[in-house]
Amino acid sequence: MSEMPANTSKGHIEVKNFSLDYETIEGSVQAVTDTQIHVKPGEFVSIVGPSGCGKSTLLNAVAGFLKPTTGTVTVDGERVNGPSAERGMVFQQYSLFPWKTVRENVEFGLKMRGMPRSQRERAARTLLGLAGLEAFEKHYPERLSGGMKQRVGIVRALATGPKVLLLDEPFGALDAQTRVIMQQILTNMWQRLKISVLFVTHDIDEAIFLSDRVYCMTARPGSIKAEIPIPLERPRQQSMMMSSEFLALRRGLMSLIREESLKAMGGEINDMGMQGLNIELHGHSLADVI
For the bound state, the minimum distance from the C-beta of residue 81 to other proteins, rounded and expressed in Å, comes to: 13
Rounded Cα–Cα distance for residues 44 and 207 (Å): 10
| Beta-carbon contacts of residue 156 (< 8 Å; ≥ 6 apart) | 96, 105, 106, 108, 109
Q: Least Å distance between CB 91 and other proteins? A: 6
CB within 8 Å of 208: residues ≥ 6 apart: 214, 230, 232, 246, 249, 250, 253
Q: Which is nearer to other proteins, 33 or 160 (CB)?
A: 160
Least separation in angstroms between CB 195 and other proteins: 14
Strands 78-79 and 87-90: unpaired
Question: Based on CB atoms, which residue is closest to other proteins, 44 or 108?
Answer: 108
> Which is closer to other proteins, CB of 143 or CB of 284?
143
Minimum distance from CB of 148 to other proteins (Å)? 7
Name the site residues for other proteins (rule: CB under 8 A).
63, 65, 82-85, 87-89, 91, 93, 95-100, 108-109, 112-113, 129-136, 140, 142-145, 147-148, 156-157, 160, 178, 181, 184-185, 188
Relative orientation angle of helices 102-112 and 146-159, to the nearest 10 degrees: 20
- Closer of 17 and 145 to other proteins (Cβ): 145
**Shortest Å distance, C-beta 133 to other proteins:** 8
Closest among 58, 47, 65 to 16, alpha carbons compared: 58
Q: From 48, 39, 26, select the one nearest 214 (Cα to Cα).
A: 48
Closest to other proteins by CB, 165 or 257: 165
CB 23 within 8 A of CB 3: no
